[in-house]
C-alpha cells in the first residue's frame, strides 16, 4: 500500500476543497437552521459532479464494487480507483458540511448499494438514479438481520409491506433501496434489496425527523403498503441462499463504511484547523519545535488529537485501497468506521471545549461540527456493532456464535 495521495487525484482533492470552502461553508448555517429546506445551491454542483464522473476513467460517483476473488485482475499492480477517489473527495467535502454532502443529488447511500450488488443490466438502467437506502426499522436498528419488512412474489412483481425509518434523503431521492425479506422463516439468507422508485403506489413518506445534526439532510420515515415493485428491481440474485442473500447485501457496507469514515475525518479536520486558527490568533505557540513536556497543555492536546486523526485516516485509506485492489475488506472497513467514528466525535467535542465560548456559540461552526459528527459514529453500523464484526473476523466466528 502506498501512503501518498496518488497524483491523478490531486485535481479532485483540490476541487472538493474549494467546494467545501466556497460553496458549503457559506450556506452551512443557513440550512442548519432551516431544517428540511432543500439546498437549491446543490443542483449546479451536482451537474458539475455528473460531468466530472462522466469523464472519469474509473466510473461514476460512489464506492465501487469489490471483487470477491481476492484479485483486482491486474496481477500484482497497485490500483488506486473509485474507492480511494471517493474517500479523498469526501474528506474534503465534509470539511465544509456533512449534511450538505449527504444531500448532493445522485450521490446517495443507495447508489453504493446498487454499485455493490446490481448486475450489469441494473447498473446500466439505474446508474444515474439518486438512490437513498432503507434498512433500519422500528424493531430492527443495529441488528439488520431482524428486518421484518416483507417482499412477496406476485406474478412478475413483488409486493413490499413494512416500515422503514431514518432514511437519509428519503424524501428527496429518486428511488429508495429497500431491504426486505422474501421468507421470514429462512432468516438472513432471505433478505434482499429492492429499488423502489419515487411515486410508486403504496410507498408513503410518513414524516421527516428533527435531528441533533446533519439538518441540511432530510431523514425520512417511509411506509410500504402492498407497494408493487417489478422483479427486475431486485438487486442481485432472487435465489435464497446464504451467499447470495444477506451476505451479498452486506457487501454494501464494505463499500460505504470507509466513505462514512471519510466523512468523520473531514469534519474532525475542519474542527482541528479552526481550533488551531482561533488559538493561534490568541497568541498560543502551536509549533512542533519543542518537546511535549515543555509545551502548553493545549498544544500537547492538539498534537494528540492530530495523531488520532492520522491513525483513523490510514485505516480508512487502507480499507478503500483493499476494495480497489479486489481484497475482501469487511474487517478493515469496520476498523476504519469504528476508529474514525469515535475519533471524529471526540475531536469535534474537544475542540468545542478548547475554544471555550467561541466553541460553544454559533459565532463559529465548531458547535455545529460537533453535533454533525455524532451521527457518523452511529449510522452504517454503530461503534459497538463494528467492534463485534471485527471480533468475529479475528476469531473466525459466525454471527450466531458471537453475539
pLDDT (tens digit per residue) in 174-196: 999 999 999 999 888 899 999 99
Q: Give the pLDDT confidence score for residue 289 in this predicted structure.
A: 80
Share of the chain above pLDDT 90, in %: 70
Neighbours of 350 (CB within 10 A): 21
326-361 tens-digit pLDDT = 999 999 999 999 999 999 999 999 999 999 999 999
> How far, in Å, CA of 166 to CA of 389, rounded?
22
Which residues fall within 8 angstroms of residue 182, CB to CB, at 6 or more apart? 150, 151, 152, 153, 190, 191, 192, 238, 240
Strands 131-134 and 175-181: parallel
Integer angstrom CA distances of residue 179 from 110, 175, 255, 368: 11, 13, 17, 32
337 Cα distance to chain centroid: 9
Q: Which structural domain range is residue 395 located in?
A: 1-403
CA-based nearest residue to 166, from 199, 189, 144: 144
Give the gyration radius of the chain's Cα atoms: 21
| Cβ neighbours for 43, distance < 8 A, ≥ 6 positions apart | 105
**pLDDT tens across 5-63, in order?**
888 999 999 999 999 999 999 999 999 999 999 999 998 878 777 665 554 433 334 55
> For residue 185, how many C-alpha atoms fall within 13 Å in the half-sphere facing its CB?
0
pLDDT of residue 244: 59
Q: pLDDT tens digits, residue range 161-176?
A: 999 999 999 999 999 9
Burial of 300-330, coded b for 16+ CB within 10 Å and e otherwise, reads ebbeebbebbeebbebbbbbbbbbbbbbbbb
Q: Is the per-residue pLDDT at 298 higher than 50?
A: yes
As beta bridge partners, residue 220 has 167, 208
Check pLDDT > 50 for residue 267: yes
The least confident of 74-88, 159-173, 235-249 is 235-249
pLDDT at 112: 83
Calculate ∠ Cα 135-232-57, nearest 5°: 80
pLDDT of res. 61? 42
Using 50, 70 and 90 to split pLDDT, how confident is the model at 308? very high
What is the domain-level CATH number for residue 275? Answer: 1.20.140.10
Which of 102-116, 222-236, 320-334, 387-401 has the weakest average pLDDT?
A: 102-116
364, 358 Cβ separation under 8 angstroms: yes
**What is the C-alpha separation between 233 and 230, in angstroms, rounded?**
6
45 exposure class (CB count in 10 Å sphere: 0-12, 13-18, 19+): middle
271 pLDDT exceeds 90?
yes
Phi-psi region of 292 (alpha: psi -120 to 50; beta: other; left: phi over 0): alpha
Crossing angle of the two packed helices 330-354 and 297-324, in degrees rounded to 10: 160
pLDDT at residue 56, rounded to an integer: 44
Residue 118 CA, chain-centre distance (Å), reads: 19
Residues contacting residue 312 through CB under 8 Å, at least 6 positions apart:
261, 264, 265, 268, 336, 339, 340, 343, 344
Q: Which of 163, 308, 367, 380 is catalytic?
A: 380
Q: Which residue has the higher pLDDT, 233 or 127?
A: 233
Kindly report, residue by residue over 92-111, the tens digit of the pLDDT.
999 999 999 999 998 888 98
Report which of 240, 69, 255 is spatially closest to residue 177, judged by C-alpha positions: 255
- Collect all residues with Cβ–Cβ distance below 8 Å to 304 and sequence separation of at least 6: none
**Residue 2 pLDDT:** 63
Q: What are phi and psi of 62, to 5 degrees?
A: 95, 170
Q: Is 367 a catalytic residue?
A: no
- Which pLDDT band, with edges at 50, 70 and 90, does 76 fall under? low
Q: For residue 112, how many other CB atoms are within 10 A of its CB? A: 28
| Total count of domains within the chain | 1
pLDDT category of residue 245 using cuts at 50, 70 and 90: low
User: What b/e readout covers 117-136, taking b as 16+ CB neighbours within 10 angstroms?
Assistant: bbeeebbeebbebbbbbbbb
User: pLDDT value at position 241?
Assistant: 76
379: left (phi over 0), alpha (psi -120 to 50) or beta: beta
Alpha-carbon torsion (99, 328, 321, 177), positive or negative: negative
The pLDDT, as a whole number, for residue 370 is 98
pLDDT at residue 51 in the model: 61
* Residue 127 vs residues 28, 66, 215: alpha-carbon distances, Å: 29, 17, 27
**Mean predicted confidence (pLDDT) in 272-292:** 88
Amino acid at each position: 500500500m502506498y501512503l501518498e495521495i496518488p497524483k491523478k487525484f490531486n485535481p479532485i482533492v483540490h476541487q472538493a476543497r474549494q467546494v467545501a470552502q466556497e460553496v458549503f461553508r457559506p450556506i452551512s448555517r443557513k440550512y442548519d437552521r432551516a431544517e428540511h429546506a432543500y439546498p437549491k445551491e446543490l443542483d449546479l454542483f451536482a451537474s458539475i459532479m455528473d460531468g466530472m464522473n462522466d469523464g472519469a476513467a474509473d466510473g461514476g460517483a460512489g464506492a465501487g464494487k469489490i471483487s470477491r476473488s481476492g484479485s483486482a485482475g491486474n496481477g500484482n499492480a497497485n490500483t488506486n480507483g473509485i474507492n480511494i477517489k471517493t474517500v479523498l473527495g469526501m474528506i474534503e467535502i465534509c470539511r465544509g458540511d456533512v449534511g450538505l454532502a449527504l444531500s448532493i443529488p445522485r450521490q446517495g447511500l443507495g447508489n453504493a448499494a446498487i454499485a455493490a450488488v446490481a448486475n450489469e443490466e441494473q447498473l446500466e438502467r439505474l446508474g444515474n438514479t439518486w438512490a437513498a437506502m432503507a434498512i433500519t426499522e422500528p424493531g430492527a436498528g443495529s441488528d439488520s438481520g431482524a428486518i421484518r419488512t416483507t417482499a412477496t412474489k406476485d406474478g412478475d412483481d413483488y409486493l413490499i409491506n413494512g416500515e422503514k425509518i431514518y432514511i437519509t434523503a428519503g424524501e428527496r431521492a429518486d428511488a429508495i433501496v429497500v431491504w426486505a425479506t422474501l421468507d421470514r422463516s429462512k432468516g438472513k439468507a432471505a433478505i434482499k434489496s429492492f429499488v423502489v422508485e419515487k411515486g410508486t403506489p403504496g410507498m408513503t413518506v410518513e414524516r421527516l425527523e428533527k435531528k441533533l445534526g446533519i439538518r441540511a439532510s432530510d431523514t425520512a420515515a417511509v411506509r410500504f403498503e402492498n407497494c408493487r415493485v417489478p422483479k427486475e428491481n431486485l438487486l442481485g440474485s432472487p435465489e435464497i441462499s446464504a451467499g447470495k442473500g444477506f451476505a451479498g447485501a452486506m457487501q454494501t457496507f464494505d463499500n460505504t463504511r470507509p466513505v462514512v469514515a471519510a466523512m468523520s475525518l473531514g469534519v474532525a479536520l475542519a474542527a482541528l484547523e479552526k481550533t488551531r486558527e482561533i488559538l493561534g490568533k490568541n497568541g498560543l505557540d502551536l509549533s512542533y519545535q519543542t518537546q511535549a513536556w515543555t509545551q502548553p497543555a493545549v498544544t500537547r492536546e492538539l498534537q494528540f488529537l492530530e495523531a488520532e486523526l492520522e491513525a483513523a485516516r490510514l485505516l480508512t485509506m487502507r480499507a478503500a485501497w483493499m476494495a480497489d485492489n479486489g481484497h475482501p475488506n469487511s474487517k478493515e472497513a469496520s476498523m476504519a468506521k469504528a476508529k474514525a467514528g469515535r475519533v471524529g466525535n471526540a475531536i469535534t467535542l474537544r475542540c468545542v471545549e478548547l475554544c471555550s465560548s467561541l466553541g460553544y456559540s454559533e459565532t463559529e461552526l465548531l458547535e455545529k461540527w460537533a453535533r454533525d459528527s455524532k451521527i457518523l459514529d452511529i449510522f452504517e453500523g454503530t461503534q459497538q456493532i463494528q467492534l463485534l464484526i471485527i471480533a468475529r473476523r479475528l476469531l473466525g466466528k459466525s454471527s450466531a456464535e458471537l453475539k
